[in-house]
Each structure stands twice: as structure tokens, then as C-alpha cells.
Amino acid sequence: MEGSDFILVVDSSVEEQVEELAMYLDNLEANTDKNVLALCREYLASENVKEVLNLFLTRLPLLAQAPEKELEPILAVFINLIQESAAFEDHVSKFCQALEQIADQNNNLTPAILSVLSILFNTAVKERQHARLSILTSVVTLTTRYSLFSTLAPNLKYFPDWLKEAGVSVSDHRAFNIFVSKAIQSYDDEQSFAFLLEAVKMDNSTADEAVRELVQRAVNSPKYFFFDDIVTLPPVQQLEQSTLQLLGILSGGMTDDYVSWVAENHAHCQHQKFDEDAIARKMKLLTIASLATQAPNNTLSYGDVAKSLKIDENEVELWIIDVIRAGLVEGRMSQLTKTLSIHRSSYRVFGKHEWVALHEKLAKWGSSLRYMLQVMEQPLSSFTIASSKKGNRDGSAVTASE
């Protein structure tokens, strides 16, 4: 065919394909009228391909009763016919709706339908790429409706590039992201949140329901601990002052700050559906993380944790395990000395003070490495115990730097 950059292997003419499909539809038991072939011949006589396609689109739901192994070939014939359409995008949209109807009637056919959609997606190239938006919408709808998310998950990361190539408008892309976020939330909350975040980032002027939902989910999620990305977004800045204060506390505040804020904003929490207990728990974990970053000699005592969190010492270990589980801190507890030996901790805010500390550590590390290099450049015969001791000290310094 002219103007096509893909190849569909067909060995018959358009008329023959139309007849084949029409006869197949007429032979289905569910087809009571059995007039598809006659009508097609009538339309073909007047060379009205559009009407033929429209007729087929109204009859395709009948294929819900077809054997699974015959569904894909017969729909492939229709895919080939649809390439002739002048209104390709519109017909693709209707075709997707028809496929969804078939899946609704017989959900056992969903894998085959997904395969057909895949073929259709690959035929939408160049000026027809915009139709991919409809196809992807159907794919997401079907996979999330019939518990086939595992087949969809590997392809989620390609959605932005595909839609960009398809020339979808920003508003349509944003709407699609919001749709995907809602659809996959029950399967992969993390991916869902990512799509929602991308949607919010696409529009800097609107503070709509999507923005509020983003903040609400970020605040209530037990796994989300870093709010720098959200606080700096322009749409978030347009929210209420109370919400911004809460985000500020979550970014760099302590438990006491949160307790004060909650005392003044109970009504706002209820209105915005903020989970006070979840946020309180999160604040405690973040507080321990902050204490860990400031602990001298990388050792944090149970007493300090208990005092900051206003809890008993016998509850400290539970909280420490939760902090480790959250990935904020890595270390091991020593119950005999009632301390936590910290191996790694996370900074909630990285400002000037943190940069200065980092500079000092790197400088110390650099000097240790230079001294080690000097020691190694010396001849082996002059290696002495003093050098060994210095080497040990350098090792300790390196460990401390790490």
C-alpha cells in the first residue's frame, strides 16, 4: 500500500476481505439478522468504505462468542481494513470501545484482545500516531479491570516517550497520566504516585483536585519520606497555608513541631483527609533519621531517641527497626550498651550547613589518601612500625570518612 511504512501480509483484495469478515459475522449464532453480507455488498457497490467500517464496528461485539483461536485472525482482517479509513483515529477509538465490549461479555478473551491491541498499536505510525492514545487507554483499562497488570507493568516506563512521539497535547497527556494513576493504584501504589506527580508537574497554573490528591497521598503514605520535590512545585505553592506549613514540618521539622501544628489544625486535617496517626508515625521516623545524621561517632543512644520521641526506652527498639525498614537508616543495635551503631543515615534537608560538613569530610578523606600515597611511595625496606600505626590511623580515618 502506498504511504505505509509497515507490512501486513494479506493475500486478498479489500472486497474479498470484506466478504470474508461479513460471512464470518453472519455465521455466528448470536447474529439474528444475518444481513451483514448483504449490507456490505450494498455499500461496496456504492464504494462507501466508511459505511462498511461503521457497520462492522456495530457488529464486532458479536465476536464475544467466537473461539479464542479464531478471534485474533479475524480481527487482524479488520485491522487491515481500517487502514483504508480516512477517519483512522475515529475508527480506532470506536474499535477500542468495541473490543472493550467483547472483553466485558467474555473476559476469557482478554489476552487475545490485548494481542490485537498490540498489533493495532504497532500499525499506528507517523501521522497516525495520535491514535495510540486511545489504544493505550484501552490497554490500561483492560489490564487493570481483569487482573492482568503483570503484563502491563513492564511497559509503563515507555508511556511518556510514546505519547510524546504521538504528539499528544499537554492537557491530554496530563489527563491520561491521571487516568493511569487511578487505574493502577490498587496494583502498584508507587507507580501510581509517580504518574500523578508527573501529571501535576505538567501544569504550573492549576491547583485542582489532582494537586490536592498528590499532597494527600504523599502525606499519608507510610513509604514517602522526602518532600522536597513536592514543596517546590508551583501548583503546590498555591494551596492553603496550613498545608504548606505541614509540608514544611515534614521536610525539616521535628515531632514537637508537628504536635503544635496538629493542635491548631484539627479541622483542616479532617477536611483534607490527612491521617494524623500516619503522619505522627512518619514524623517520629523522620526525627530518628535526623538524630542519626547528627549523632557523634555514629552512635545514637536509646535515651536520646526516647527523649525526642517522648516514649519509653523499651519502645525505642521497635521504632529503630521501623526506621531501618523504611530505608532511612542503616545500623545495628547493641542492647547491652543501649546504642545504635549507625552505618548510613539520610539527610532530610541538604543546605549550607550540610554542604560545609560534606566539604570537611571530603577534605579529610583527601588528606588521608594523600598521606597514604606518600606512605606507599616509600621503599619497602624503610617501612617501620610507626608507618604501620600511621597506616592504621589512616584506615580509621577512611572508615570515619565513609
Partner 1 sequence: MAPPQGKPENVLRLADELIALDQHSSALQSLHETIVLKRSRNAQGFSLEPIMMRFIELCVHLRKGKIAKEGLYTYKNAVQNTSVTAIENVVKHFIELANKRVQEAQEKADKISVEYVDDLEATETPESIMMSLVSGDLSKSRTDRALVTPWLKFLWDAYRTVLDILRNNARLEVMYQLIANSAFQFCLKYQRKTEFRRLCELLRSHLGNASKFSNAPHSINLNDAETMQRHLDMRFSQLNVAVELELWQEAFRSIEDIHSLLTFSKRAPAAVMLGNYYRKLIKIFLVCDNYLLHAAAWNRYFTFTNVQKPATANFVILSALSIPIIDANKLSGPSIEAEDAKSKNARLALLLNLSKTPTRETLIKDAISRGVLSFCDQAIRDLYQILEVEFHPLSICKKLQPIIKRLAESNDTAQYIRPLQQVILTRLFQQLSQVYDSISLKYVMDLATFEEPYDFNPGQIEKFIMNGNKKGAFSIRLNHIENSISFSSDLFSNPIKSSDSVSLQSTPSELITSQLTRIAKSLSSVLMRFDTDFCLLRKQQAEAAYERAQAGVEQERKAVIAQRSLLELRRGQADTLATQREAELAAQRALKQKQESEAESLRVQEEINKRNAERIRREKEAIRINEAKKLAEELKAKGGLEVNAEDLEHLDADKLRAMQIEQVEKQNKSMNERLRVIGKRIDHLERAYRREAIPLWEEDAKQQAEHDREIFYEREKQRKEVQERKHEQAIKDKKAFAQFASYIHAYKQNIDDERDKAYQEAYAKAKNVIDAERERQRKEIFEQKLAEAIREAEEEAARAAEEEANRELHEQEEAQKRAIEERTRAAREAKEREQREMAEKLERQRRIQQERDEEISRKLAEKAAARRANIGASSPSPGAWRRGGASAGGVSRDSPRYSRGGYSRGSVPPRETLAPSKGAYVPPSRRNQQQQ
Tell whether residue 351 is a contact of partner 1 (CB under 8 A).
Answer: no
Please say whether the beta carbons of 324 and 341 come within 8 A.
Answer: no
Tell whether residue 332 is a contact of partner 1 (CB under 8 A).
Answer: yes
Q: Which of 156, 333, 372, 375 binds partner 1 (CB under 8 A)?
A: 333
Tell whether residue 341 is a contact of partner 1 (CB under 8 A).
Answer: yes
Using CB under 8 A as the binding rule, the residues of this chain from 307 to 326 that contact partner 1 are 317-318, 320-321, 324-325
Stretch that binds partner 1, among 51-59, 107-115, 327-335, 362-370 (CB under 8 A): 327-335
Residue 13 neighbours by CB distance under 10 Å: 9
| CB-nearer residue toward partner 1: 334 or 367 | 334
Tell whether residue 359 is a contact of partner 1 (CB under 8 A).
Answer: no
Strands (E) across 174-249 are located at none
Please say whether the beta carbons of 105 and 64 come within 8 A.
Answer: yes
| Torsion of the alpha carbons at 169, 171, 175 and 181, rounded to the nearest 10 | 90
* Smallest separation, CB 324 to partner 1 (Å): 6
| CB-nearer residue toward partner 1: 276 or 330 | 330
* Smallest separation, CB 185 to partner 1 (Å): 21
Is 169 exposed, middle or buried, given 0-12, 13-18 or 19+ CB atoms closer than 10 A? exposed
* Smallest separation, CB 117 to partner 1 (Å): 25
| CB-nearer residue toward partner 1: 6 or 350 | 350
Residue 157's alpha-carbon distances to 58, 162, 191, 192, 256, in angstroms, are 34, 10, 9, 12, 40
Tell whether residue 306 is a contact of partner 1 (CB under 8 A).
Answer: no
* Smallest separation, CB 159 to partner 1 (Å): 19
Is 194 exposed, middle or buried, given 0-12, 13-18 or 19+ CB atoms closer than 10 A? middle
Stretch that binds partner 1, among 19-27, 63-71, 185-193, 329-337 (CB under 8 A): 329-337
Tell whether residue 334 is a contact of partner 1 (CB under 8 A).
Answer: yes
| CB-nearer residue toward partner 1: 16 or 315 | 315
Please say whether the beta carbons of 181 and 199 come within 8 A.
Answer: yes
Q: Which residues have C-beta within 8 Å of that of residue 236, sequence separation ≥ 6?
A: 200, 207, 211, 214, 215, 230, 244, 247
Please give the DSSP secondary-structure letter assigned to residue 195.
H
**Under the rule (CB under 8 A), what is the footprint of partner 1?**
317-318, 320-321, 324-325, 330, 332-337, 341, 343, 402
